[in-house]
Structure 1
Amino acid sequence: MEVAYRTQLTTALDVTFFILKQGLPFCGHDESLKSLNKGNFLVLIEWYTQRNVEVSKTMIDNAPGNNQMKSPIIQKDLARACANEVTNIILNDIGGNVFSLMVDECRDNSVKKQMGVVKRYMNKFGCVIDRFLVVVHVSDTSTISLKKAIDGLFAKHKLSLLRLRVQGYDGTSNMRVAKSNRIVSDFFQYITLIVNIVGSSCKRKDKFRQVEHDRLLEGLKKGDIILYLTELYPEDFSLTDRIVLENQLQTYIQNEQNEFSMIQDLESLAMKMVKTGKHIVFTLVYRFIELALVLPVTTASVEGSFMR
């Protein structure tokens, strides 16, 4: 009995893993025996059973009537268990690193309001990672309601507010306040126009990347990087840290300036530092780069994280 149950559970988990990895729905509109389209979960269970003798001995017709392992409740439990495991992997990958939250408002098929949350952080290899974390149903998508939902999210997953550096939002209800200010409204209109113009042409995008690369390269050679960030985040960089950081940066530039021509952006610089172990030698330089990379600087970057 125990072996049969293990086979059933393993089969259901295999099918669940495939469905989740492909981003497919579980249930069909009609899961009755006579249905021609019972949904992905049941169809895959039947397919699996027909092609594996050991599975066929324990599933569907050969399974106990009170232990079919295919009801909608079981499907939801399996999906929820997998979601919890994925969430734990993401949280463990973040560890004690700083991170940012990107929040988008949306509605499901039943027109319920909900909030999608993506976390941005740097992993141990120096790569910038955007991970979809959770969808939370909210009463409305006002700033207060979203904040309350985020507070609950932090409490549930034991996330530290001390490691959070910024929250980025996308959605009309939260942009309405900004648009009430003429100067701020004009700013967002210009940003939108620039993003649309540059993004509509491969030639313009390549030109923009080249200009950004040249600007970054020149800034690295001169040591004239975006250091004012250290003043905005005093909890990360004390007055002493800022002085040491400036000295570390100058030393790092002198040692590595011949390699800067191979650097495309800050992320590739961070990855190179990890690969060569320089992130340990120049800890404050790496911490500064990490902070710069986890900040979503535009609403376009927030939207892009949900489209990946």
Structure 2
Amino acid sequence: MAVIVRFVNNKGKVMERFLGLQHVKETSSDALKKSFIQMLDAINTEMNHRFNEVSTELLVCFSCLDPRDSFSKFDVTKLAQLAEIYDADFSNADRATIKDQLATFIIHVRRVDDFITCHDIESLAVKLVETERHMVFPSVYRFIELALLLPVATTSVERVFSAMNIINTDLCNKIADEWLNDLMICYIEKEIFKGLDDKRIMKRFQAIKNRRMNLPRSPHRS
């Protein structure tokens, strides 16, 4: 099982990060029933709770944030309902002022040229952060973040298993789960690891007192 976290970063862009794998060692029918039936029942209960008539309305409400055609689908009343559905994310003060904030927001974005190029909700989020409007309309921006986090299945999961086929070859199929997990993280999130300073990493491990072996010190170090 692949575990991936989806979030909106401080620039308003949707990010996904691979956290790790959970290796299912037994694949017999009885084992699968023991490992997954309870989990599937819990997920099914949660899905029935979330994706009922209320959740259908939820999707309709989120569609009102679509910036295309000068926010033609924007509806203050429907969007204000989101504050009631996500009551844990909005205070009483937020709910009391949300309609006024939404009304001011739509007037603003339709008049400002910066938002003409927005073609979806993610590009709208990025533009709001770039122009610092996310601080002017915090509740509206929270709606946008919630909308961006709504998808539950993405191509990132498929990339994880494709990467596993590359790493877990015939020569490496006996490596321990922890090692495989570490290799997977380094491979999938290689853009992050490219930015790390090797010298800083070595210095940190050199400073650790309890370790299995001593790392060689850099020959250029004084």
Q: Name the TM-score, length of structure 1 as normaliser.
A: 0.37
Structure whose CA Rg is larger: 1
With CA pairs under 8 Å and 6+ residues apart, which has the higher RCO, 1 or 2?
Answer: 2
Q: Name the TM-score, length of structure 2 as normaliser.
A: 0.49
